[in-house]
Structure 1
Amino acid sequence: MKITNIRVTHVNLPLDAPFWWTGGLYPGASKSIIEVETDEGLVGLGEAPWWHFGEVVEREIAPALIGADPIDLADCESRCVPPWQITANTGENAVSVAFGAVELALWDIRGKALGLPLYQLLGGAVRKRIAFSEYFSFRPAQNGAGGEMTPEAIRDYCLRMRDDHGSTIFEGKLIQGDPQLEIRTVAMLREALGPSAQIRLDSNMQYSLTSARWLLRELEPFNIRNYEDPVATFEEMAELRRHSIIPFSTHIPDLRRACALGAPDYFVCNFAALGGIGRTLKFIAACEAMGKGFWCYSNDLGIMTAAYLHVSAATPHITEASQSLFRWQIGDVIENGPFRQVDDTVAVPEGPGLGVTLDRDALRYWAEHFQTHGPMGHFNDPASPGRYRRLPLH
């Protein structure tokens, strides 16, 4: 089998309402959908975490892979990716992420060629339903959605998710630059949701070490399951560990520093950002050996989410719920998407490969949205148009 073509389609996927994060208002995502075509009629699906990486796929990776055997992952990687030890230190590692998006499609082809779901190729499933969190944040109202701009509104939103969908795992950003507001909101959530619900927090590095010390002391009585990036560096997290028992997570996959410093405790990563499924499996195995946890990223579309489902199914070490913005996503590029959790879980697709199928009409619609409106920006601060925020916020 040979690769005959690689097609890249940029898409926008807006959320039903924007949410506040440290960079400003986050309205949705701009991704690149990858289709790897073969001379035997099999087509593998991949997804880049941001549209810029799709440009790298078109410019550098696609020409290198035409004629390659899609089953031979080592050969395909050697055609595209320079030594990662060098590129990681020279700012040239965009090609590693771009190849990671394509590598998903190569695994999809492998599963389709063998008629097996991806989790079977990875050793079989230890679980068939995968846990995902609900998400909450301060969200301005938009077209009948959002409007959770007070602690009371966030509490009521989470209660509705519990009552309507059986949700007991909640993660959120309480980012308004006001620690007192965060404490008040968490106190309301714990009282309303009860002692058994999981509450996880993410500040996207908004706090100084001084503020974070005080904040986490006040939050400890509310049994916080995890706090993601409360401060900006691993060194600050290590110092914060001296004052708090709350576990920390990060999106920065620097395992050596985490082990040397003793913090953070968990990594939350996109598979393409790690270089693909193969490198992700190695990273998770290293985390297990070094006593660090792992779960999956949020705000991905159905192709990447399917990869999360299969890898989580086949990986005993992924014991915590992965992140999810599923409830806020108004569309997807796969048939029957977006995924939606019920009782905190999503079933693993059982079809060959990733087990998902492109919805051509949806792909065309969201590609036209990208063409018409351009990529979605994540750093818009209405209080300071044309200016980027600086951290920490408090």
Structure 2
Amino acid sequence: MKIRSVKATPVNIPLEKPLWWTGGHYPGTSKVIVEVETDQGLVGLGEAPSVDVLATILAMGEELAGQDPLDIANCESMTVPPWQIVQNTDDSSVVKAFGAIEIALWDIRGKVAGEPLYKLLGGAVRKEIPFTEYFGFREGGEMSPEAVADYCVHMREVHGSTMFEGKLILGDPVLEIETVKALRSALGPRDMIRLDSNMQWSLPTAIRILREIEPFDIRNYEDPVATFEEMGVLRRHSAIPFSTHVPDLRRAVRIGVPDFIVTNFAVLGGISRAVRFIGACETMGVGFWCYSGDAGVATAAYLHMSAAMPWITEPSQSLFRWQIGDVIQGGPFRQTNNVVTVPEGPGLGVELDRSALATWHAHFIEHGPLDHFFDPAQVGRFRRLPLA
């Protein structure tokens, strides 16, 4: 069996209402859906977390034509420079590009074996995979502490959700503190509350905020400040655990924070490297879960990996409830009572919805990549939060 072609399709995945985050206005996300086709007619699916690697994926596809899709190590050696170079002195986007292709190669491997990915990874330690509901300040939606709290209560009543994570990002420390108080009052003492500020706060402001919210049992705070070093100082003032999207395990171990790394498998270089990374996290006592905003292909990979990896014990993030489209049949995934069931089909266990893929590709062509950084009130300007 040989690789015949690699196809890469950029798509937009809009949210029902734009969310505010540190970078500005978050109306949704843009991804690249990868299809690796073999000469036997099998097609493996992958997903890149951003469209900046589109051309690199296509170039790698030309290099991989005629290669054995089951020989993943050979495919990597043909397209990715030595690891120490891409991690330190080269453009690490090649890792992300190959990571998307590599997920598709694992999908093919599962289809050849007739087994779901989690079985190829050693079998399932769980099949009900937990995800948090998301909350935040949304344009045309929840823009006050009371509204955010009411939304979460509604999610609990309708969907059985008791695990929540969100961004309270409008540049106002008091607003964040008041919203946390409203959430805990409305949800009671048992429901999970995690926060994510996307490196919004200065160290003095973060010290102030965490001092005020610590009594309200915050399960985790993601990237409360801009660097691991600042997290190290912040740890001396708060017992709340920290997480980050920056997958620098060596630095996390050296400094002692953050407690968890939250990332995407393509960012790590694919399934094989993610398995090794998670194993290193387990050895060093650093937790791991998966981040949010992906289409159904990457989410399926999260489901299988979380099923097979005992170390992933905390719920991963999700924007499932807010995503108005997807590229897989039956998507987007939706959790009930906090969980999504791992797919049982071969490989990733998902199939493309060709009509949906065409719709969201057309959205990308018409509108361009969904813009996460600009302020809609000031055309051509980046969002600037008040200094705090």
**TM-score strictly above 0.5:** yes
Aligned-partner residue type, residue 130 of structure 1: I
1:117–1:352 Cα contact (<8 Å) kept:
yes
1:129 aligns with 2:123: no
Q: Secondary structure at the match of 2:88?
A: coil
Which residue does 1:301 correspond to in 2? 295
Which residue does 1:373 correspond to in 2? 367
1:84–1:93 Cα contact (<8 Å) kept:
no
Distance in 1 between the 2:54 and 2:2 partners?
A: 21
Which residue does 2:5 correspond to in 1? 5
Matches of residues 48-67 of structure 1 in structure 2 within 5 Å? 48-58=48-58, 60-67=59-66
Query: How far 1:231 moved relative to its partner?
Result: 0.1
1:41 aligns with 2:53: no
Distance in 2 between the 1:392 and 1:140 partners?
A: 19
Which residue does 1:19 correspond to in 2? 19
Q: Deviations over 1:224-274 (max 9, x none)?
A: 000000000000000100110000000000001100100000000000001
1:340 aligns with 2:347: no
Segments of 5+ residues of structure 1 without an aligned counterpart are 142-146
> Percent identity at matched positions?
66
Q: Deviations over 1:315-345 (max 9, x none)?
A: 0000000000000000100000000000000
Query: How far 1:348 moved relative to its partner?
Result: 0.2
Distance in 1 between the 2:386 and 2:239 partners?
A: 22
Deviates further, 243-252 or 383-392: 383-392
Matches of residues 148-297 of structure 1 in structure 2 within 5 Å? 148-297=142-291
Q: Deviations over 1:91-119 (max 9, x none)?
A: 41111110000000000000000100000
Distance in 2 between the 1:282 and 1:88 partners?
A: 16
Q: Secondary structure at the match of 2:7?
A: strand
Which residue does 1:71 correspond to in 2? 70
Q: Secondary structure at the match of 1:34?
A: strand
Deviates further, 331-340 or 367-376: 367-376
Q: Could you say if the C-alpha distance between residues 376 and 158 of structure 1 is closer, same or farther in structure 2, counting changes exceeding 3 Å?
A: same
Count how many residue pairs are aligned between Structure 1 and Structure 2: 388
Distance in 2 between the 1:64 and 1:391 partners?
A: 44
Runs of 4+ in 1 over 6 A off after TM superposition: none
Which residue does 1:144 correspond to in 2? none
Cα RMSD, aligned residues only: 1.0
Which residue does 2:324 correspond to in 1? 330
Distance in 2 between the 1:390 and 1:151 partners?
A: 22
Distance in 2 between the 1:383 and 1:354 partners?
A: 41
Query: How far 1:3 moved relative to its partner?
Result: 0.1
Superposition TM-score, scaled by structure 2 size: 0.98
Aligned-partner residue type, residue 218 of structure 1: E
1:9–1:367 Cα contact (<8 Å) kept:
yes
Query: How far 1:392 moved relative to its partner?
Result: 7.9
2:171–2:385 Cα contact (<8 Å) kept:
no
Distance in 2 between the 1:383 and 1:246 partners?
A: 35
Distance in 2 between the 1:15 and 1:33 partners?
A: 18
Aligned-partner residue type, residue 67 of structure 1: G
Q: Could you say if the C-alpha distance between residues 20 and 391 of structure 1 is closer, same or farther in structure 2, counting changes exceeding 3 Å?
A: closer
2:17–2:322 Cα contact (<8 Å) kept:
yes
Deviates further, 87-96 or 373-382: 87-96
Q: Deviations over 1:124-181 (max 9, x none)?
A: 000000000000010011xxxxx10111110110011000000000000000111110
Superposition TM-score, scaled by structure 1 size: 0.97
Distance in 2 between the 1:157 and 1:55 partners?
A: 40
Q: Could you say if the C-alpha distance between residues 392 and 276 of structure 1 is closer, same or farther in structure 2, counting changes exceeding 3 Å?
A: farther
Aligned-partner residue type, residue 50 of structure 1: S
Distance in 2 between the 1:390 and 1:273 partners?
A: 27
Query: How far 1:385 moved relative to its partner?
Result: 3.0
Distance in 1 between the 2:110 and 2:250 partners?
A: 33
Distance in 1 between the 2:137 and 2:384 partners?
A: 19
Q: Secondary structure at the match of 1:305?
A: helix
Distance in 1 between the 2:66 and 2:386 partners?
A: 49
Distance in 2 between the 1:83 and 1:219 partners?
A: 45
Query: How far 1:393 moved relative to its partner?
Result: 4.0
Which residue does 1:101 correspond to in 2? 100
Query: How far 1:30 moved relative to its partner?
Result: 1.0
Aligned-partner residue type, residue 249 of structure 1: S
Q: Secondary structure at the match of 2:157?
A: helix
Q: Secondary structure at the match of 2:310?
A: coil
1:206–1:392 Cα contact (<8 Å) kept:
no
Q: Secondary structure at the match of 1:88?
A: helix
2:31–2:48 Cα contact (<8 Å) kept:
yes
2:24–2:384 Cα contact (<8 Å) kept:
no
Matches of residues 77-92 of structure 1 in structure 2 within 5 Å? 77-92=76-91
